[in-house]
Structure 1
Amino acid sequence: MHKEAGEDGSDNAHFSGLSREQICRCRTHRAELIDSSQSLCFHCFNLTLFYGRSKPLLTLLSCAIKQFAFLCLCRTVSTLHALLVGLFCLYILFFDEAVNQDPVWGDPTLVKINVSITTGYLISDLLLIFYYWRAIGDKFFVIHHLAALYAYYYVLGQGMLPYFANFRLLAEFSTPCVNQRWFFEVLGYPKVSKPNMANGVLMAFVFFLVRIAVMPVYYSRMCSVYGTEAFYKVSFGGRSAWIFSSICLDIMNVMWMHKIARGCYKVLLSSRRSKPESQENGKTN
């Protein structure tokens, strides 16, 4: 009782000169201020505790977002590289007379530029594959890149076989469709969606055109120079790299073509089956 009387006395001393209604309002505001301060301290404590416990999760999420953005950038760069090198390759095939007339020892200036661009890209892509092996690692891609780099070493170092080195770059035209398929998959497009199906059919067609259908042209030109004087001027290492890399790359191209064709056929077949089912559901409904 004495304590309460003391507190009331001190309050009355603070609020001297004020009416009873004003004193009640001041006490109410003071109580609200104390409650707000306590609530703010409580939330700050919880936020600090949550951040301390979830910091590893936030760090992991940030790394995943950065990795995803980096992979998107890599796919975009891959598409731009493929279009640049592919168009340059067509220009050389149609307009570089020196290379077309002498496929073994023709002037390799333009071809070296094109091959240099591809070599730089293959090296950087190979390093990225090793660094992000869990996300994009593929042993066949590693073999493909190493086989191509093995052959391009002789093209850039000794200027030999410019026609054949440039001809292999036609295969880059299939890359944009492959990258677009990855983007559709990341964006959540169903496999039977029209954009995904159109890209899949186009990918199968272009892949067959620039990697499979051109094989007879490539190997017939190879046979035409086999045993000639220009052929024997090529070092044994250069000939080995040329023949070995060509066979190795084309074996993988056939494997990939078979895989792409099967996938395309399955998607088209499933889309045809889904149409009658949707029509039947529409009738029953």
Structure 2
Amino acid sequence: MEDSTRLGYCIVAGSFVAFQFFFSAVSPQLSLSLSSRYSTLPSVKQNEWNSRCVSTLHAVIVGLFCLCILWFDDAVNANPIWGDPWLVKLNIAVTCGYLLYDLLLLVRYWRTLGDSLFVCHHLAALYAYGYVLSRGVLPYFANFRLLSELSTPFVNLRWFLDAVGWPRSSWVVLANGLAMMVVFFVVRIAVIPSYYMQVYSWYGTPEYERLGLGVQLAWIGPSLALEVLNMVWMYRITRGFYRAICRSVSRKAA
């Protein structure tokens, strides 16, 4: 096993522990200092609050790192399949640790936090990212996938605003809803054509053939599954924003 692979697995374990610690110890204290409403929430809501704090932290760290790699990592951009995966593997390791932490959390609080779509998303991502960590393949495509995390802070902010009692017809909630819908569309839906154009441009090349059938299936299969999930979530977000706008307009008219 290469040193970079060993380090990657160590980062996975460290990421898992760090996110669990943030959920259990850091987020409750930080939330109490930032919002007096946190202490009045039932324990079920507090657990989801802390979970979304961890989710936001992970999204900011990984999303910004993804942009840096996309803009400045020439080796990965020059050869999306076999380019030097060092920085991408570090980012993927952090995400795998988070996904394992979140799966454990979903199982632990399944009655209140459980969501079969999230479980499918996490398992598909872990399956694909496992090849990136173990074999260092497909760094560009793995990094491109992680750009979708940039929409997560807006999704979580919507929940936080609802939890502290902001009216859904208020301009703050509507502005965040619009930002959430636009960013989600840009980083998860609008990029689909460019992503698969890159896939098509490398399909059948010697670099592609070197991957082997197992990696090829792990690349294409989870990608298609994630597209379906993103379409479902995009529909839900759009429908929710449309309903919020309609309620706001009807109240003003009344």
TM-score where L is the length of structure 1: 0.73
User: Which of 211, 226, 229 does residue 203 from structure 2 map onto?
Assistant: 226
Distance 2:167 2:253 in 1: 18
Whether 1:123 and 2:94 are equivalent positions in the alignment is: no
Q: Contact 2:44/2:112 (CA < 8 Å) preserved in 1?
A: no
Whether 1:164 and 2:158 are equivalent positions in the alignment is: no
Over residues 114-145 of structure 1, what are the superposed CA-to-partner deviations in whole Å (9 max), with x where a residue is unaligned?
A: 00000000010011011111111110000000
Over residues 245-281 of structure 1, what are the superposed CA-to-partner deviations in whole Å (9 max), with x where a residue is unaligned?
A: 100001110111011111111111221121121xxxx
Match of 1:192 in 2: 169
User: Which of 84, 91, 95 does residue 114 from structure 1 map onto?
Assistant: 91
Distance 1:162 1:242 in 2: 11
Over residues 129-180 of structure 1, what are the superposed CA-to-partner deviations in whole Å (9 max), with x where a residue is unaligned?
A: 1111111111000000000000001000000000000000010011001111
Identity %: 53
User: Which of 208, 211, 224 does residue 185 from structure 2 map onto?
Assistant: 208
User: Which of 79, 86, 89 does residue 63 from structure 2 map onto?
Assistant: 86
User: Which of 110, 127, 130 does residue 133 from structure 1 map onto?
Assistant: 110
Match of 2:54 in 1: 77
Match of 1:152 in 2: 129
The structural deviation recorded for 1:71 is 2.8
Distance 1:89 1:117 in 2: 12
Query: Which residues of structure 2 form unaligned runs of 5+?
Result: 1-38
TM-score where L is the length of structure 2: 0.82
One-letter code aligned to 1:244:
G
Match of 1:25 in 2: none
The structural deviation recorded for 1:68 is 3.7
Paired residues for 1:242-281 under 5 Å: 242-277=219-254
Larger radius of gyration: 1
Query: Which residues of structure 1 form unaligned runs of 5+?
Result: 1-61, 278-285
Aligned length: 215
One-letter code aligned to 2:227:
D
Distance 2:54 2:233 in 1: 22
Match of 1:31 in 2: none
One-letter code aligned to 2:95:
T
Whether 1:181 and 2:172 are equivalent positions in the alignment is: no
Match of 2:29 in 1: none
Change (3 A) 1:273 1:65: closer
Distance 1:79 1:65 in 2: 21
Over residues 190-213 of structure 1, what are the superposed CA-to-partner deviations in whole Å (9 max), with x where a residue is unaligned?
A: 211222111111110110010001
The structural deviation recorded for 1:65 is 4.6
Distance 1:74 1:263 in 2: 22
